Structure 1
Amino acid sequence: MKTAYIFPGQGAQFVGMGQDLYNLNSESKSLFEQANEILGFRITDLMFTGTDEDLKQTNVTQPAIFLHSVILAKALGDKFNPSMVAGHSLGEFSALVAANALSFEDGLTLVSKRANAMQKACELQPSTMAAILGLEDEVVEQICAQIDAIVVPANYNCPGQLVISGSIEGIEEACAALTIAGAKRALKLSVGGAFHSPLMEPAKVELQEAIEATSIKEPICPIYQNFDALPHTDPAQIKQNLIDQLTGAVRWTQTVQKMIADGAESFIEVGPGNVLQGLVKKVDRQAQASAAFID
């Protein structure tokens, strides 16, 4: 039976996340303490006893979700036996560490650099994202392409749910046009900027150097990457897709479809929340999806 392990992205955080893992054993505790040193602040304090506002800061959110996911995967031990892995946006870094392609230290360092670079890019130009519900992907793509201001499809989450990303003006124009076209909802998201859009180009340039300088090995199983929704094991191609992911769309719908086509019979979500399990079921109602847990 082929099992796909999937790793969540930004938005899955909650206060208290990871505290059970910290208390689980000395190995897990040691990884959290190592993370505090690498980051230069006690992220564990913010994860375990911080506020929702603390956890919403991009430079906290991304490392926090990465740590929860990766330390949980390591705590699974022999139970973690993937036929394939994938991660939603930030989750791609968690998946690479869990699949032994990237070291814990390098993965956390890249995630921290990515979060800071994205934050800086957000501050350069006011921008945002919106969730479009109840329209075909092709309709959303066509309408975005007709708008003069910057607006692009950013997250293909599941059929009938596509997040768009762009300038404030672009998002407002697109939401109005998509509502007229029959969208059930065009909901602006409370995010700091236009992730997975051309407005992330400054972050892409900054992160490219860091990714190229980092050692990535062949993973223990194929990783299905956001940029093209295809399985990869070649380190050079994995690096390029990680770089392109910042300004490219997260093709999650297509990723799940491809994993199922390649024989995935069950999906296990590793990390906080259960968002990805829900998305998998919306892509294919027959798919088995559950959360990773430690006995």
Structure 2
Amino acid sequence: MSLAFLFPGQGAQRPDMLGTLPRSPATAEVLDESRTQLAQLGLRPDIDTASALEDTTNAQLALLIAGVASARALTAEHGLIPQFVAGHSVGAFPAAVCAGVLTLTEALTAVTLRGQLMERACRDGQWGMAAVSGLPTRTAADIAGQVGTAEDPIWLANINSATQTVFSGTVIGLRSAEDAARRAGARNYERLQVSVASHCPLQQDTARRMAEYLTGLPRRDPSARYLTNTRGRATGSAQTVLDDLAQAVARPVQWYDATRLMGELGVTCALEAIPGHTLTRLLTSAVPGIAAEALQDSGLAPAAAHMQHLLQRTPE
């Protein structure tokens, strides 16, 4: 018996995602704590309106809060305790909170800093990200190398599956990459709801500044195995988690490696936090033997009940 909690990254956000969280004491507690900390950080509480979510920092904070609220409700009110946690990009922060490496207050401060630094790194020029489906990773990497220029760079930012990757780069570079990807036979090419370029060398100063902040926090080893973004490996070390949280913004996300590793490590069930469902689909595609469910699609209480039933039937 082994349960994983999955936490989506930027691109999964949607308007009123916090206002429509399931009503429960656990989610109310997370929302109250978050509002207090946002006020101390000088931020408005309404970070999940359609216009507010256009801001990188607001989108990342909303995903953090929704992820922590989902996990606390599952654990405190439904008795589901994960043995593994994995978060895609900014989703790594609620994963770290769930595993006890960060407090919610520490994570809110860190994600605010992260979002602001990412925006600052992209203040000159127009940047973004795009997902391409239907091409092997090697082909996508070749396209990035071929179409990227010094003025309009393209980087391979996420390796999500054997045939799904994400590019980071300038808007012009992403257009060139789309033309090349479609010529190479891509099934789909979609610009993400992201106005920065992430998981690329452009964010090296962001990674450095994040490391400086995280260095000052206490070292709390995770209560669940944490799967890293930068290497797609599992760790039980607080220092490795903090290093991953800092460095991932400047390195490609190795999500495909992380999902395949879950199968090797014996994960039998997985729940994806609100508001995502893409990670569930990627996991079931990579490791069909894992029963995965998205709270956004099934509802928190029904999904929790279903997982409880499966876990009771699954031998250790």
Quick check: TM above 0.5?
yes
Contact 2:7–2:273 under 8 Å retained in 1: yes
CA distance in 2 between partners of 1:207 and 1:129 (Å): 21
Contact 2:11–2:193 under 8 Å retained in 1: no
Contact 1:195–1:247 under 8 Å retained in 2: yes
CA distance in 2 between partners of 1:84 and 1:103 (Å): 18
Contact 2:38–2:45 under 8 Å retained in 1: no
Contact 1:32–1:44 under 8 Å retained in 2: no
2:154 counterpart of 1:151: yes
- Helix, strand or coil for the counterpart of 2:129? strand
Contact 1:200–1:247 under 8 Å retained in 2: yes
- Residue 195 of structure 1: how far off its partner (Å): 1.1
Contact 1:166–1:199 under 8 Å retained in 2: no
Q: Is the deviation greater in 219-228 or in 174-183?
A: 174-183
- Residue 64 of structure 1: how far off its partner (Å): 0.9
2:164 counterpart of 1:161: yes
Structure 2 match to 1:109: 109
Contact 1:143–1:174 under 8 Å retained in 2: yes
- Helix, strand or coil for the counterpart of 1:135? coil
Q: Structure 2: which amino acid aligns with 1:173?
A: S
Structure 2 match to 1:254: 257
Contact 1:43–1:64 under 8 Å retained in 2: no
Q: Is the deviation greater in 162-171 or in 261-270?
A: 162-171
- Residue 139 of structure 1: how far off its partner (Å): 1.2
Contact 1:39–1:112 under 8 Å retained in 2: no
Contact 2:11–2:192 under 8 Å retained in 1: no
- Write out per-residue CA displacement over residues 175-216 of structure 1, whole angstroms, 9 at most, x where no aligned residue: 333322222333333421211111112322322211222224
Structure 1 match to 2:272: 269
CA distance in 2 between partners of 1:257 and 1:87 (Å): 14
Structure 1 match to 2:34: 35
Identify if the C-alpha distance between structure 1 residues 6 and 261 changes in structure 2 by more than 3 Å, giving closer, same or farther. Answer: same
2:64 counterpart of 1:62: no
Contact 2:159–2:253 under 8 Å retained in 1: yes
2:181 counterpart of 1:181: no
CA distance in 1 between partners of 2:169 and 2:30 (Å): 37
- Residue 70 of structure 1: how far off its partner (Å): 0.4
CA distance in 1 between partners of 2:113 and 2:87 (Å): 18
- Helix, strand or coil for the counterpart of 1:281? helix
Identify if the C-alpha distance between structure 1 residues 19 and 174 changes in structure 2 by more than 3 Å, giving closer, same or farther. Answer: closer
Counterparts in 2 of 1:164-243, with a 5 A limit? 164-243=167-246
RMSD: 2.2
2:285 counterpart of 1:290: no
Q: Structure 1: which amino acid aligns with 2:245?
A: L
Structure 2, unpaired ranges of 5+ = 303-316
- Helix, strand or coil for the counterpart of 1:218? coil
CA distance in 1 between partners of 2:266 and 2:66 (Å): 28
Q: Structure 2: which amino acid aligns with 1:222?
A: R
- Residue 255 of structure 1: how far off its partner (Å): 0.8
- Helix, strand or coil for the counterpart of 1:228? coil
Contact 2:221–2:238 under 8 Å retained in 1: yes
Structure 2 match to 1:140: 140
Aligned residue-pair number: 291
Contact 1:75–1:294 under 8 Å retained in 2: no
- Helix, strand or coil for the counterpart of 1:100? coil
Structure 1 match to 2:46: 45
- Helix, strand or coil for the counterpart of 1:106? helix
Structure 1, unpaired ranges of 5+ = none
Give identity over the alignment, percent.
28
Contact 1:22–1:29 under 8 Å retained in 2: no
Counterparts in 2 of 1:1-16, with a 5 A limit? 1-16=1-16
Identify if the C-alpha distance between structure 1 residues 216 and 71 changes in structure 2 by more than 3 Å, giving closer, same or farther. Answer: farther
- Helix, strand or coil for the counterpart of 1:268? strand
Contact 1:63–1:108 under 8 Å retained in 2: yes
Contact 1:267–1:289 under 8 Å retained in 2: yes
